[in-house]
Every structure is written in C-alpha cells, then in structure tokens.
Amino acid sequence: MTPSAPVIAFRGVGLTYPGPPPVEALKPSELTIERGDFVTVVGPSGSGKSTFLNIAGLLDAPTAGTYLLDGIDTGVLKDSERTALRGRHIGFVFQSFHLMPHRSAQENVTLAMLYTGVPRAERARRAAEALRRVGLGHRMDALPSRMSGGERQRVAIARALVGHPSLLLCDEPTGNLDSRNADTLLRLLEGLHEDGMTVVVITHDADVADRGARTVTIRDGVLHDGPSRAVREQERA
Ligand SMILES: Nc1ncnc2c1ncn2[C@@H]1O[C@H](COP(=O)(O)OP(=O)(O)OP(=O)(O)O)[C@@H](O)[C@H]1O
C-alpha cells in the first residue's frame, strides 16, 4: 500500500459489456477518492451503479483505463492476486446482509478471518472488538434470526471491518431497513468516517445520498462528481 495514494483512483476507467449489442455501462471516467473520504454514489435504475460497484470492488475488471486501489494498479494482477487484494483492502456491506443464519454474530464475524492467518484466539478477540464498535457488544451470541434488520446490518459492518480494510464499500446498506434503523446505520457509518475510515455508499435513495458531503451521480454511465444536494442547498441559502 502506498500511504499517500488515493484509496480509489479511476484513470479513464470504463466498462463495455460485449453484447451483442455492446453496452457501454460505464463511460471512461476519472474519479479520485482519498483516504478518509465519505462519498455517496447515486443514480437512477440502469445508470451504472452496480457496474461502478463491481469495478471499484474488484469483482469486474474494466475494459478501458486504469484502476489504482491504494496505489496498486489492479489491471496487471492475476485473478488470484485481485482476490487477495480485494480481501485485504475492501470491506463489503450489501443490502441483504448475507449472514450465516445458524452462526452467532461473533461466529459470523470470526469466520471472515478464517483464511487470513490470524490465530483462532485473536480472531475471536478481534470479532468481539468489531462487534463492540458497532454497538453489539451485548449481542455477540445471538443468531441473526433473532436479531432485527438493523442489528443484522451492524453485524455485517463488523464483519466488513474486522480485516481492517482501507475501503468500506456499501451497496444500498439501508435498502432493507425502516427509517429508524436506517438512520442508526447511517450514523454508524458517519462515526466510522469520523474515525478515519474511507466510506463509499451506493444508493438510489436521494436522502441517503445527502448524508455525505460529496456525491458521485451516475447518469447513463457517466460519473458526475460534486458536493451533495444537501451541501449545495446550504451553499445557496
Ligand atoms: N451483464 C450485462 N450485459 C449487458 N448489459 C448489462 C449487463 N449488466 C448491466 N448491463 C447494462 O448496463 C447498464 C448499467 O447497469 P447497472 O446494473 O450498472 O445499473 P444500476 O444503476 O446498478 O441499476 P439498478 O439500480 O437497477 O440496479 C444498463 O443499461 C444495464 O442494462
């Protein structure tokens, strides 16, 4: 990792699905997300949000340009190296939690470290620490089926954090939550950001997008980077 490098640097990054007919889902784009940034990514259905997530999360390789993650050129890596880089640098949070239903909260978080070489006792200790960080120190032994949606998503965040990633990449993290739990979750993400974590939240919800100071808007595969709607309105007032 290059300490001074941006977490995400897109240099002319684009993706065209081959088709037929070919679909230019992300037009060649420039984007820089620095360490400690909190960025929301918003856009209507079909605009390219998932395409962006898949590229930024190293799930898909771009067909144009260069993507540097923490200063590492991801375009020259073998598949196994990309997978390893993804595991070390990115914590994912998805709309539907993806927890193992028959494992406790602590086991769900511990299992995320299974192949990392971290000793077993240390894995349990780190899982407990991550669960305390998301406010679930009292629910470590609970099964996901006995937890609220908001609690489950906080377990998912603890699991994403436990490997100390440089980037927390969240795809519609509040999509399955009611407004109260969504607010609690967004406050948690804001707290992580205040502690220095780089957070990217992909959402179709304009209210969620407003929680960041900076919003990347995707329209027809084109990235528009700028202040969020809330910041623009404050500036106008
Ligand atoms: N595998 C694929 N092959 C061809 N075209 C695709 C493929 N996946 C997505 N697309 C197209 O690429 C464009 C961007 O799709 P993408 O899924 O990134 O949008 P999105 O903003 O995530 O949409 P939604 O909010 O509905 O999930 C759309 O026109 C979509 O039809």
State which ligand 1 atom lies nearest to the alpha carbon of 47: 21
pLDDT digits (tens, 9 = 90+) for 143-198: 999 999 999 999 999 999 998 999 999 999 999 899 999 999 999 999 999 999 99
pLDDT digits (tens, 9 = 90+) for 123-141: 999 999 999 999 999 999 9
Ligand 1 mean position, distance from CA 50 (Å)? 7
Q: Is omega for the bond preceding 21 within 30 degrees of 0, making it cis? A: yes
What's the first-to-final CA gap in the chain, in angstroms? 41
pLDDT digits (tens, 9 = 90+) for 41-89: 999 889 999 999 999 999 999 999 999 999 999 999 999 999 999 999 9
Ligand 1 mean position, distance from CA 173 (Å)? 19
- Nearest alpha carbon to residue 35 among 173, 199, 169, 163: 199
ipTM of the complex as predicted: 0.95
Q: Can you list the domains of the chain with their CATH numbers?
A: 8-96+153-236 (3.40.50.300)
Ligand 1 mean position, distance from CA 129 (Å)? 38
Which is higher by pLDDT, 233 or 125?
125
CA dihedral of 120, 196, 187, 227, whole degrees rounded to 10: -140
pLDDT higher than threshold 80 for residue 230: no
Ligand 1 mean position, distance from CA 17 (Å)? 9
Query: What's the pTM?
Result: 0.92
pLDDT at 223: 93
Tokens matching residue 37:
């940034």
Residue nearest to atom 24 of ligand 1 (CA): 45
Residues with a CB atom less than 6 Å from ligand 1:
17, 23, 25, 43, 45-51, 204
pLDDT at 235: 76
Return the minimum-mean-pLDDT range out of 9-18, 126-135, 211-220: 211-220
Specify the long-range contacts of residues 78-83, CB closer than 8 Å, at least 24 apart.
82/58, 83/58
Residue nearest to atom 18 of ligand 1 (CA): 48
pLDDT at 1: 57
From CA 73, how far away is CA 162, in angstroms rounded? 25
